[in-house]
Structure 1
C-alpha cells in the first residue's frame, strides 16, 4: 500500500477518533462522473478511422441504453488494468455495412484504447489535483544553492526548503444564539479563566495579534490573526489529529441582538475527512459548553 502523500492520491494515512479506520487507512472520495463524461467526450468525439471502404467517425458519446446505428461499448474500464486489455465491443444496427463494422473493430478499437489511456492518465493527474495529502513530516524538499566565490574556489552550500502540498478541504458556516451580551461572549473566547471553565481543561492564551493559543489539553492549537474587541476574532486553528502543519482559518463574528448575541462562525480550510468532527467540536464542545457556563453564571448571580 502507498504511504501518506505517495502513490494513489486518494489514500490518506492518519489517526481517526471514530475507530473505523483499520490500520490507519481509509479513502477520501470524490465523484468523477461529471468530469469523466466531459473528458471522454473531449477524447472520443471526432475520433475517425477510414480505409478504401469508407470512413467512420464518433460523433457523440452517450450513456448505455440509448439506441444507435452503431455502438461502441466498454463494459469495464479500470485504472488497475492495462489499457490494451480493455474490452471494446463494436456492434451495429441490422442493415448497416459489415465492412465499416470490421474497420471499427480493428483500427477503431486501437484508437479508442489510445483515447482511454489518455483518460486514465488525466484521471490520476488532472482530476485529482488538490487531493494529494502531505506527509506527517515534510512532504518534499528541494535544495536551494548559495554560491560564494573565494579566490579560485567556488563554494556551494545547500539547505533543505520545505514545500507544502494541498489537501482537499471544505468550508463551514455556523450560527448560534447566546443569551448574553456581546462583551460577555467575547470575553469567554479571550479570557483564560473563562476558556478553562467552558472547556474544563487547561488553556494557554496570548490574546494579541500573532499570539498563540492552546485549548482542550492541546487538542486545539492556533494563532490569533485579528482581534477586534467585542466584534470579531480571526484565528489560524487546527485539531491535533489533522495533517501536520495544516491550519484552517476561523472567523468569529459577534452580532448583537435584542437580549442576545448571535455568533457567526466561518471556518475555511477544514480537511474533507474532518468535516463532521469539526462541526461536533464547535457545536458540542464549544457552543453547548458555553451555554452551560452562561446558565451556571446566571444561577449564581
Structure 2
C-alpha cells in the first residue's frame, strides 16, 4: 500500500509546478470577507426604491459586520457567509409636504443557512408622523423587494468571483464547469434519528448505561480529520445545519439543530478530542463522555471512539447515528473514504 506521497495521485503535489492541491483533493479556503464588504457597499450605494407615490433611495451601508469564505474539497465548492447589515434610507412623498424623512433597514442574519426570500428585514423611520409612517409602509413593500434583489446579486457574484481558481486543472483535464457548486446548508436540515426515551432503564435513581467503542479508517491526514471536527466551516459542511462551536477547553458546541450539545474537555491537535456529549432526548442533565483518538498511519488515519455513559436502551441507535451523521457524512463531504471496509 502506498505511503503518503508515494503513488497515490491525491497526495502527490510534485506534479504541479506550484505544488498545490492536485486533483482538488485537499480542503482549500479563500477569505471572501474584504471582497464581500466592498461588494455589499457597492450594491447599496445610492439605490433608488421604485414607488409610484414617493421618491426613496437607499443611501449607504451604515453597519456591516461578519465574514465570508469560499472552500474547495474534492472538486466541490462550499460557500460560507454570515453578515449583520444596517442600511440608511431617505425619501419623501410626491404629494406630501415636501419634507424629507430618513430611516434604517436592518438585516440581522444574512447567511447561507437562510434563503433570501425568508430573511428578517426590519424597517424603521426616524419621524413616525403620518407621512413618515406612510413612507415606512412603502419601504415594507417596495423597499424589502429591492433589498432582497440586491442581496441575491451579492450571493451570485460571490459564487462567480470565488469559483475562479478554486477548481484546479486535473491530470485528466476535467473542466471546472463540470464541478458541482454547493452551499453548507444544502437547502435542507438534517434531524438525527429520534431516540425513544421510554426505553431508558433506571435502577432506583441510577441510570443504566453502556459503552460504545468504534474504530474506523479514513483516507486523510490526522490533522485534516481533527480539523473536520473542530473548524466550524467544516462541521457545518458535513452536518448540513447551523452549528455553534467553540473548540477550546471548556468551550461548548451545539449541532444538528440543537439535537446534540456538549462541552470540550481536552483538545490535542491531530491526536485527540475529549468531550461531554448528550442527545437532547436523554434524561435531563445526563451527559456521556466521548474520547476520539486520532492515529495517522503510513497510508491512512485510524480513528477510535469510546463513548461511556450512553443510556442502555439507546446504544444501538446512538451507534447508528455516529455512523450515519458523522463518519459517512464526513466521507461524503470531504472525500475521506476509507481504504478498507
TM-score bracket relative to the smaller structure: 0.3 to 0.5
Question: TM-score scaled by structure 2?
Answer: 0.40
Q: Which has the larger radius of gyration?
A: 1
